[in-house]
Structure 1
């Protein structure tokens, strides 16, 4: 049982030690395939490649798509490909191939109208579960929209750092996620204390002295911890095999990525056996092992508070000098922060036994039989029950601190977009690929798609106005029908043929009667664009915030007011309302867009916009929290089962004397629930206080979200109660007559 408990913890530590390697390998692959165009576009040559973006989404899956057209025999080949796909063909990732061949992929196949001819290699994918494809085309041009010319792949620019606030979050997250695992490893090392004491008493009867008995105990602990190391390594190898089948929030890895870093592994291998020996010797400090039995100190001394209080005080002492200093240009000492937070959380684990002992000692007589059995057990030996929940109490305090800090800094990385998601669920943008004559039919075509409830179409281009002195003048020309214009500007009356001028009345603003040159996709500075005269009947209009939270200005014309044939290289944007109750409505709309223009952008409206770095940290924390919660639950289950196995004879005797099994089951629940309740009452103020301290270090306003804290505490309590409930079938088996047998 000790080996299993230690092994689970070691497995988690090995996974944590592999995270830097996993992230680095993924980053290197995604950077190597990067096709961000250079600041100065290269000229066409036999070494250039035209590459267009055709990203899409399908039922919550992000699909990375690139369309290729080599302009010469020496054009760069994307990583993961052995040859360029021919026009009409595509090379896909393995999971995308499976999706396209499945029944669910029937709705996606019309959107990707290419023939699958191969799969992308590992070098071209971020992870095993990434959906991606490379397609070939002979119609791709520089004016095809989101198209760039490149002569090589790979992002060689230095990446943007996390910044001090996000770096602080990462440091705290590692401490919060790994410290409970270390606490559980320490708990597992004390499994089997009572049976060990009986074995040592038998050895004393055979002539072994006290010192040799302690050496036997140390040897047993050493053997169990070494076996746990081997078991943890084996569990790690098993988990490593299945890593390619798992993705969390779109992030996945390959099996080869999961490699523990050398230094943490070298430190962990000797640390686990050494700590197990020290724990074994420490647990025997108040035990007298005699030939006829084990005698513990009869005059039980109260647990001392002073040294338990010193631990968090030292942690505060390490963090206090950093108040308001995290944002300094020279940065902060990550090791000082990690040590301070670690000591504060360890202090919670150290204070919990003292609090439980102080509270339980004051619980007098009364209550049901199950309550009396639980309280008496905690009064006689509450250490085992406290150790069972101490790890999850530490995890709860750390999670509350992280949640408090995330809430405090979220405003710096998440902004409100102002988009009205109830009136428009998506925006479709055609970049320079739809002329004015086709733009008029886009709304009707999208509107006829099943599940689409309405569209608002606007066509935009540039309008170069006559210069005034040295001032260059230009404006945006927007063409839309009256219902669409009412969503963009404020006017009293609108009819087809009207023109409106909206925006600040500045000297450079467009005026009625002026003649400008419409952007035709060429250099209009020389006046080459087609001429268009702003009607003298153009009326002023007020600005308003549209459905996307944007305010526009310039010239707004209805379709009859301008010859649609001169609107070349038009930027067409369409706001789409879909039936949100129809799961496939958005996918059918995307299929219609792909039929019009495969490389058009489809953006789902959102009330908020999140910084990519903050989102990456948040996703990483969520992945780590899920993994940590699973390991904590598993180790806690092993801990509870070991406690019940140690007490099997006592349970069997109580049943033999007529105690109902339901009473014993409830007493087991009380023995876990009472320390957990006291632990949560300690974790809430400690976690909120630590979170407030971290916000003060970051010079942020302190804001405590009690609803989120209640959710964290509820999750922790649910894990403990669920684990205890899962152990009840084993407890019932231990109550049988076989538990009375002894040697």
Structure 2
């Protein structure tokens, strides 16, 4: 019997949620707020499947292995050359294909093998090449486009990729850029490296920080229309319902709004899923088919959101006494208690404290303690902010009319104001902590390179057989190139096969060699043995005039080398200098006339370029020249630092997630602001009818937003700095605060609120019209 009565009460609440025009508006606003959060939760639940799909696509088109055994040529083998390039700092994946028989495998997403002078490209690359912006890249990829790569051959909808036909790749087989395969998708041998504990900590904190604001906004959205709901419940008490029934009715109303929010959220997610196929955020793109939440996670969202809606509603009603003649909360509310609100952040710190000092060398962090501790600290923001807002606004005094209107409104309903700001405060606190953690550990995953950027900024590696002098001249003619250093490099040993001793050989004219060493004197035909290099331990024993050495010797398990013989001429000593790549060279420095042609053919060529960085397109001009000189060349832009790939991936994931959360914050705040204005439209119209200026009311709305946001951002800064400090202590990293970044995080949060406030002004002006006093 009691169960049946409870179900009837819940059903009554369902009905109230959709009764009348006001009920529908309130239900829709609640559903939109909840739906935005649900959509982002579903998107998060789809991340594992999206990552798996991208990995499977990447694996399916794998065209190289680490197997040292060379496959024999057959009618089912394919030669593949890595010919990718970079255009305006965006990577373009490229492969040259040379089939060795009619049964050669086709790459995934390609219907027919392109012939020489032809290529198939991804849809986004085709758009770029056909647009005016792609003019420089079109010069680099002049082949005729004969088709597009299908979705199975791409990891993302915005990926730039191409396959082009080629001939004669067998001459370059074994040089590193060219491989022979029998099928695409061959497994790569070897296990991946274990994750660094600090990187795992970063991943955990990123997920918690990005998802916490979503939960806060969902909890705030289910309380839209709280004042109107309480008036309806008071009416129920007037006709004879008890307090238990009113709470069950309220729970039914919240449940209705949350279920409608699930429907809205699913629709938002499906729409966003399709839009995601057209978007690219921080060079990351996906196909809509990737974004499929796992059934278990989707079911968890479907259960947790309604349950959280009911729980939040019941908790909110604990502080409200609903009587037949009204809601006691409209009188002076009782002061909020502070002690239990402080327990949440203190408990969070207590969970994180045992891991202080662990760092990378003391084992993994406990993921449950990390997640729990960070969550409690951020939840502490939502618990402390209402108390802070209430305490501060109670002490605010006289001022302008707009100020007094805003302060009085905040004094009467500080909880609603705090709920509006809670999400921003949590997001900013988490962002500050993450920024401190990323900045603190960045040096651990960033390596200073040894490149001499004062003398060169780009390096081009040429294939064997490419005339070095002609290539260097082409680079000198390229606009924006100031200086060219050209060297040939090889390796020799004392035997044709499996030599025990060997040395590096660098070939260049006298002017080039003087960049690498202090030479006593130099003319073409001279040979120098270097001292002071890092790889010259065997040079002294090999540098004996008349001794025969062998370029490109053969080693066991490797393809047969050229084994070109060279009789050592008279050798003079030279002192190695720090080279362009930073370290001194070892071995021999040789001028071209001192080597036979057979030995020169075994060397590879390197070109180092000093460029004019003030020209924005100079790098692409160099890449165009490089592609014209040698289609298999590998241009590389030097940088002073290099970051670990996994660290960069986590940073990219953070930026993508932050962009999504920021969009949710703005949309949810706007919905919340509109809901509050809707509830006060009669009051606003009455004030205008009594002669209050619209400018005054607009300023009062701005003050009502500004006061809580200032308090919320101040609290967020304190909590964020505290959490960031603890996380840095956990990773045994020196404590440092980049105040400019902290202020930037605060400014972004305040900027979002300001934009939302400006967007809410047009609806506010409409609600001030006399028609707002109309009632039924």
Change (3 A) 1:191 1:483: farther
CA displacement at 1:633 relative to structure 2: 1.0
Structure 1 equivalent of residue 202 of structure 2: 169
Measured in 1, the distance between the counterparts of 2:769 and 2:488 equals 80
Partner of 2:100: 71
Moved more, 226-235 or 142-151: 142-151
3-state SS of the aligned residue for 1:108? helix
Secondary structure of the residue aligned to 1:86 is coil
Q: Of residues 546, 562, 568 in structure 2, which corresponds to 1:533?
A: 568
Indicate which of 484, 487, 490 corresponds to 1:455.
484
Out of 579, 595, 604, which is 2:637 matched to?
A: 604
In structure 2, the residue matched to 1:277 is 310
- SS of 1:191's equivalent in the other structure is coil
Displacement of 1:345 in angstroms is 0.7
Mapped partners of 2:362, 2:710: distance in 1:
43
Q: Could you say which residue in structure 2 is the equivalent of 1:472?
A: 500
After TM superposition, the structure 1 = structure 2 runs for residues 566-581 of structure 1, keeping only pairs within 5 Å, are: 566-581=599-614
Give the CA deviation at 1:162: 2.8
Between the aligned partners of 2:518 and 2:664, the Cα distance in structure 1 is 59
Distance in 1 separating the partners of 2:336 and 2:569? 88
2:181 to 138, 150, 155: 150
**Contact 1:348/1:683 (CA < 8 Å) preserved in 2?**
yes
Report whether the alignment pairs 1:333 with 2:366: yes
Instruction: Select 2:713's aligned residue among 665, 680, 683.
Output: 680
Trace 1:65-464 onto structure 2 (pairs within 5 A).
65-141=94-170, 143=172, 145=175, 146-152=177-183, 153-157=185-189, 158-296=191-329, 298-325=331-358, 327=360, 331-365=364-398, 367-421=399-453, 423-434=455-466, 438-464=467-493
Q: CA deviation at 1:655?
A: 2.5
Structure 1 residue 56, shift from structure 2 partner: 0.4
Contact 1:417/1:609, CA 8 A, preserved across alignment: yes
CA distance in 2, matches of 1:514, 1:639: 88
Deviation, 1:262, is 1.8
Q: In structure 1, which of residues 525, 538, 544 is the aligned counterpart of residue 578 of structure 2?
A: 544
Q: RMSD in angstroms over aligned alpha carbons?
A: 2.7
Greater alpha carbon shift after TM alignment, 729-738 vs 616-625: 729-738
> Structure 2 vs 1, CA of residues 190 and 493 (structure 1 numbering), >3 Å: closer, same or farther?
farther
The Cα of 1:382 is off from its aligned counterpart by: 1.1
Task: Provide the C-alpha distance between the structure 2 equivalents of 1:682 and 1:451, rounded to a whole number of angstroms.
Answer: 52
Which residue is equivalent to 1:508? 538
Give the Cα separation in 1 of the matches to 2:546 and 2:650: 53
Question: TM-score, normalising length from structure 2?
Answer: 0.89
Do the aligned partners of residues 527 and 259 (structure 1) sit closer, same or farther apart at CA in structure 2, a change above 3 Å counting?
closer
CA distance in 1, matches of 2:365, 2:296: 23
- Cα 1:311–1:709 shift into 2, 3 Å: same
Aligned counterparts of 1:563 and 1:725: Cα–Cα separation in 2 = 77
Asked if structure 1 preserves the Cα contact closer than 8 Å seen for 2:65 and 2:188, the reply is: no
Cα drift, residue 380 of structure 1: 2.1
Aligned counterparts of 2:263 and 2:560: Cα–Cα separation in 1? 73
TM-score in terms of structure 1 length: 0.92
1:195 shift after superposition = 2.0
- Give the deviation of 1:303 after TM superposition: 0.9
SS at match of 1:429: strand
Distance 1:178 1:491 in 2: 63
Give the superposition deviation at 1:471.
Answer: 8.7
**What CA distance in whole angstroms lies between the structure 2 residues aligned with 1:540 and 1:466?**
25
The CA deviation at 1:325 is 3.9
Q: Structure 2: any 5+ residue segments left out of the alignment?
A: 1-28
Superposed displacement of residue 447, structure 1: 1.4
Q: Is the 8 A contact 2:516 2:576 kept in 1?
A: no
How far apart are residue 613 of structure 1 and its match?
1.1
Aligned to 1:32: 60
Q: CA deviation at 1:625?
A: 0.8
SS at match of 2:450: coil
Correspondence for 2:86 among 40, 44, 57:
57
Using the TM superposition, give the Cα deviation of residue 396 of structure 1 relative to its aligned residue in structure 2, in angstroms: 1.0
Which deviates more, 615-624 or 453-462? 453-462
Matched residue pairs, number?
Answer: 735
Q: Write the deviation string for residues 151-181 of structure 1: whole angstroms up to 9, x where unpaired.
A: 3433344433433221111111110001101
Q: Distance in 1 between matches of 2:194 and 2:202?
A: 13
Q: 1 CA distance for matches of 2:724 and 2:221?
A: 29
Judge conservation of contact 2:552–2:561 (CA < 8 Å) in 1.
no
Return the match for 2:693 from 632, 653, 660: 660
Aligned-partner SS, 1:311: helix
Specify the SS of the correspondent of 2:139.
coil
CA distance in 1, matches of 2:520, 2:722: 57
Deviation at 1:66, TM superposition (A): 1.1
For residues 378-425 of structure 1, what are the alpha-carbon distances to aligned partners after superposition, in whole Å with 9 as ceiling and x for unaligned?
222211111111111111111111111112221221111133445433
Deviation at 1:521, TM superposition (A): 7.7
Q: 1:45-95 deviations in whole A, cap 9, x for unaligned? A: 324332111010122331111112233444443322344333333222222
In the aligned structure 2, how far is the partner of 1:421 from the partner of 1:734?
A: 63
Q: Give the secondary structure class of the aligned counterpart of 2:564.
A: coil
Q: In the TM superposition, what whole-angstrom CA distance separates every residue of 1:676-721 from its partner, at most 9, and x where no partner exists?
A: 2222222223212212222322333333222221211111111112
Distance, in Å, in 1 between the alignment partners of 2:379 and 2:699 is 30
Would you say the 8 A contact 1:466–1:515 is kept in 2? no
Give 2:38's aligned residue. Answer: 10
Deviations 1:532-563 (A, max 9, x none): 53434x342232142x3343222223445556
Shift of 1:190: 0.9
Structure 1 residues 471 and 36: alpha-carbon distance in aligned structure 2, compared to 1, 3 A threshold: closer
Q: Once the two structures are superposed, what CA deviation does each residue of 1:464-508 show, in whole Å capped at 9, x if it has no partner?
A: 3589xx993322222234443343334576665654433338762
Deviation at 1:29, TM superposition (A): 1.0
**Partners of 2:405 and 2:129 in 1: how far apart?**
61
Distance 1:566 1:188, change over 3 A: same
Q: How does 1:645-724 map onto structure 2 within 5 Å?
A: 645-724=678-757
- State how far apart, in whole Å, the 1-side matches of 2:270 and 2:494 are: 68
Moved more, 182-191 or 36-45: 36-45
Partners in 2 of 1:294 and 1:305 — Cα distance? Answer: 24
Q: What SS is found at the alignment partner of 2:318?
A: coil
